[in-house]
Amino acid sequence: MHILEQKIRNARAGGRTALIPFITAGFPSPERFRGAVEELDAHGADIIEIGIPFSDPVADGPVVEEASRRALASGVTLRGILKDLRTFPRLQAGLVLMGYMNPILQYGPDSFARDAADAGVAGCIIPDVPLEESGELRAMLGARGIALIPLVGQNTAEERMREYAAVSEGFVYVVSVMGTTGVRDGLPPQMLDTLRRARDAFSLPLALGFGLNRPEQLDAVPAGLQPDAAVFGSALLRHIDAGRPAGEFLDAWR
Amino acid sequence: MKCSASVGQGETEAATSEQPQSTCGVRLRWRRETCGPEHGVPAGRYFQCGTKHPGEFLMKKGYFGDFGGQFVPELLMPPLRELEAAMATIMSSPSFQEELDDLLRNFAGRETPLTFCPALSHELGFNLWLKREDLLHTGAHKINNTLGQALLARRMGKRSLVAETGAGQHGVATAAAAARLGMGCVIYMGAEDVERQAPNVRRMKLLGAEVRPVESGSRTLKDAINEALRYWISAQEDTHYCFGTAAGPHPFPTLVRDFQSVIGRETRARMLELTGRLPDMVVAAVGGGSNAIGMFYPFLNDGSVRITGVEAAGTGEPGCCNSAPLNLGSPGVLHGQHTMLLQTEDGQIQPSHSVSAGLDYPGVGPEHAWLQATGRAFYGLATDAEALRAFAALCRSEGILPALESSHALAWVLEHAEKLRAELPGESNVVVNLSGRGDKDLDIVEKHLPL
């Protein structure tokens, strides 16, 4: 079983929804980033998703884009991120990188896979690489034990999900809304159908993301369809940016 | 996609026999092995399409050699597939073509003239012709594409169009098509462009479009594309993304090229009619590349016709901001496509610059990247100053006010006149695609030229 799947299954075995906080590398500042990651780890994050900043983040909403822009302005690069991660203390949480294709392409996908694995990265989320473009990248990452996490949503047919299921490991990222990342008050009712199709198509754990802020947002989800993990990004970034401790945000979810 | 339909029998056989080789020819730069049956990938999936060019093999679906693809979020794959299916079923129907032809003729003003330039031809020593897309409704070639896409979208059951615009020409053409066909229209435009191109913003609003300024990133065209893609994710059910140039994720490069190819088809037929032979050279400005691919595509199989695209070199100083990814960029992924880009070595997209807002884009359509790689087309450069000189020359010599975009194409011809005279046979014919008219550029021109 892939390490990321194991992390989520462990949380579920303990009766919890696994927690996957997202934080942009170098956020809120290059100096405070490391402390924020350590705090998320200490406060029970099961997987920590670190965003690689990109100039044109087309799947992201305004909060993550702004965090990305600030990180780039302060000189954050993929090379620097991978170098930094190697100096981090050993984390309890699994480590996932989220980033767009072009910085990885310029780094060299094979070198990226090697250096990311050396830095302790266990998974990648690359939102602009759908199934059709993913074959060789998935193989390069897989050879280093890194899972390429599939994203599926409201308009992903079950048959398509099965195509992803045939090649995926780690976990599945279920996108809750038809839109970009960012906090929403309510979640759309179609989300339940998406979760249902994903449950049928995948044997991997399901992580729900995009729009999550408070645990109560999941109250309306019936027990059988509860996601195995919850991802939160924009709400956490805003929380941290307001000067509040990263760990405090996670405490509400535990 | 017009796949096998456009491939002749002999070529099909050649393509089939070449297929093992083609699997090596279609990989991205970094790919060591590529897709194909021997790598466990079902063949039908990747080789169902061949965009045909002379001597070429079947290519991976949605790719032009190494360039193209569909680098988009999974949530955009269903609408892209829906569009691809609609292209195959709807665009090939005679009633669609009839309705589009009628709109192009009676609403947009096709066929456009092929104008001979007596004064400049005398000066240059060869025959200079202009394909007059500037005479179209809304003032540029953009309307060829927006009418086609709007009509397609309406037949797909979509009620609204969303589009990006830089200088505003594509926004105006989309708004006009939407109004004509009774559709809603949302236009994303960089906040900086909204300020720079105020008259076009007013035109779009008068035509019923909602113009949404984009404050993110560099506040220009590339950010407007990001925002339009984001909007399309949420609005895909009843909205079509009317992409403005022959770039972006498959099938947009093919779709836009097919609608713009009317430019080259008319040019080819008219030149044969007037002179009894094909032109010796066709020239067009390349930003995203839609007017250029529209002119080039029908000539790709005519080996005797030299094809030249002209990129905007900006001020032309070493290291200055430019809009010339084919000449000065490197391969990368942006806006759903693998193509030539202006970028840092870390893969961040760099801001572009040109005196001509319509060429101001850090990427380029993937088919141009491929035509350059194969050598079928040559891509040159023209600076801001050269374009302004060409603008003035055409005004005074021929009585035509060209768009600054088209002025780049003309500038390349004027700057290379001596070389062209030496290389081209006597009495040769050179066609420049005059993609738009220059009225929109008067504020910019006034800053640089004495009036």
B395 assigned to active site: no
**Which chain A residues are within 8 Å of B35, Cβ to Cβ?**
135
B234 contacts chain A (CB < 8 A):
yes
Q: Could you list the active site residues of A?
A: 49, 60
What angle separates helix B252-260 from helix B77-89, to the nearest 10 degrees? Answer: 30
pLDDT at B357: 86
190-219 in chain A: CB under 8 A from chain B? none
Contact A171, A231 (CB under 8 A): no
Q: What is the residue type of B375?
A: G
A247 contacts chain B (CB < 8 A):
no
Selected for mutation to probe chain B from A65, A77, A83, A106 (highest B CB count within 10 Å) is A106
- Decide which of 3.30.300.30, 3.40.50.10800, 3.40.50.970, 3.20.20.70 is the CATH code for A3-243: 3.20.20.70
Is this complex's ipTM strictly greater than 0.90? yes
**Which chain A residues are within 8 Å of B31, Cβ to Cβ?**
136
Contact B392, B203 (CB under 8 A): no
Cβ distance of A106 and B347 shorter than 8 Å: yes
In tens, the pLDDT along B212-252 reads 999 988 888 999 999 999 999 999 999 999 999 999 999 99
Around Cβ B87, how many Cβ atoms within 10 Å? 18
In tens, the pLDDT along A76-120 reads 999 999 999 999 999 999 999 999 999 999 999 999 999 999 999
pLDDT at A184: 83
* Mean pLDDT value across residues A121-132: 98
B170 assigned to active site: no
Query: For residue A209, which of A141, A148, A150, A133 has the smallest C-alpha distance?
Result: A150
**With bands split at pLDDT 50, 70 and 90, how would you rate the model's confidence at B58?**
low
In tens, the pLDDT along A132-186 reads 999 999 999 999 999 999 999 999 999 999 999 999 999 999 999 998 888 888 8
Q: What is the DSSP letter of A76?
A: -
Give DSSP secondary structure letters for B278-332: --SEEEEE-SS-HHHHHHHGGGTT-TTSEEEEEEE-TT--TT---B-HHHH-EEE
User: SS3 for A173?
Assistant: strand
